Amino acid sequence: SSGINAEWSLRPGPNRVTPLISQLRKATLKESGVVKVCQARISAMDIHQGNEIIVASGSKWGDMGVCRYPVNGEDRVVAHVKYHQDIVSCIKFREKKIFSSSYDGYLKNFDPEVKKETTVFKNTDSWLRYFDFTSTHTYVVGDNLGQVMQGDLRCDSSKFTQYSSNGLYKNSLWSVDSNIHHPNYFLVGGASGVVVMFDVRNNKEHVTQYNRSRTINSAFFDGVTGRKILVTCMDDTLTTLAVKDMSEMHSESVTKHDTYTGRWLTKLRATWLPGSSEYFTVGSLRKYPRTMTMYNASEGRQVLSISDEDLMMSVQSIVAVHSATSSIIGANASGYNYIFTQD
């Protein structure tokens, strides 16, 4: 296929559509945009927000593939490594380096240019579920035992400070997210059905919490104001929370969306569009056609549904948007990236 128009639905309204979404409606999928990057189900993915599309994906078998797109006559997968011994749970670019956590208890740093990896953090007594950076040198990690740990890139990989959730978390954490506008604060969410906000300056108690009845897949601050939180829950809801004075969280809007992925698919996690506190994207369990969707957060209204009935016939559990090229990238359970780009 030389490129098939994406299905889209865009309801008119004053000042409701950002230029990025207007461009994304034009994105198409070519055969060259379907790239095998991992040996098995992709369990984590991140894209580098630079001028070109660089995607890092990790799988349930512990391998990681780095894809550059487009390329002329060259291999699209520029690196494929396996330095984790279990599921890759989270991947994040930091400049051109790639950090990844795994159920093997390691947080590692990979430099794709020199093909070198180093251990940043290790705690082999638990499975590392998610991590984020809280400053230039510090990071926070959540694990399957409900532990929240902060480490320092300049220190020994086995040294960390543990944060107390006062019994709120005895089960697995599924996400960790720091606030780039208010860097002392970070969120965790997990199987106990609670979103908890912490202050890095106080590891004895949390700041505030927001309760749901089912597992929290993720809770992410918006990158524009740092005062909105996007929560994906296994009760089939995507909730936008408003943050007041960095001390209170309350529900602002709720969007109904099927989030029950079961055991064979990677969990859905809704994420904010780059540079937006109003729009977000998420994978879809819709059977036909398979789609990736975008919503208006305050209205709980779908603004874009993108699909290709010939080339994309699987659930894209992970979805990310590359703002510089107005592209949208999905990841599926067979180790493939699906890269919709402008013609």
What is the pLDDT confidence band of residue 15, given thresholds at 50, 70 and 90? Answer: very low
**Is the predicted pLDDT of residue 313 greater than 50, yes or no?**
yes
**Mean pLDDT (whole number) for 112-126:** 92
- The confidence score (pLDDT) of residue 14 equals 36
pTM for the model stands at 0.92
- The confidence score (pLDDT) of residue 168 equals 74
**Block residue for tokens 């093997």:** 104
User: CB under 8 Å to 154, separation ≥6 — which residues?
Assistant: 137
**Mean pLDDT (whole number) for 61-83:** 87
Least confident of 19-33, 115-129, 165-179: 165-179
Q: Distance between CA atoms of 331 and 9, rounded to whole angstroms?
A: 22
Please give the C-alpha separations between residue 276 and each of 95, 217, 295, 324, in angstroms, as whole numbers.
Answer: 21, 21, 12, 14
What is the pLDDT confidence band of residue 5, given thresholds at 50, 70 and 90? Answer: very low
Say if CB 209 and CB 194 are below 8 A apart. Answer: yes
With pLDDT > 90 as the criterion, what percentage of the chain qualifies? 81
- The confidence score (pLDDT) of residue 238 equals 97
What is the pLDDT confidence band of residue 8, given thresholds at 50, 70 and 90? Answer: very low
What is the pLDDT confidence band of residue 72, given thresholds at 50, 70 and 90? Answer: low
- The confidence score (pLDDT) of residue 151 equals 94
161-163 and 173-178 beta bridge pairing: unpaired
**Is the predicted pLDDT of residue 6 greater than 90, yes or no?**
no
Phi/psi for 40 (5° steps) reads -145, -165
- The confidence score (pLDDT) of residue 3 equals 34
Least confident of 119-128, 160-169, 182-191, 324-333: 160-169
- The confidence score (pLDDT) of residue 196 equals 94
Please give the C-alpha separations between residue 185 and each of 90, 98, 123, 243, in angstroms, as whole numbers.
Answer: 20, 23, 23, 12
**Chain-wide mean pLDDT for the chain?**
91
- The confidence score (pLDDT) of residue 223 equals 93
What is the pLDDT confidence band of residue 76, given thresholds at 50, 70 and 90? Answer: confident
- The confidence score (pLDDT) of residue 7 equals 37
Task: Give the count of beta carbons closer than 10 Å to the beta carbon of residue 285.
Answer: 17
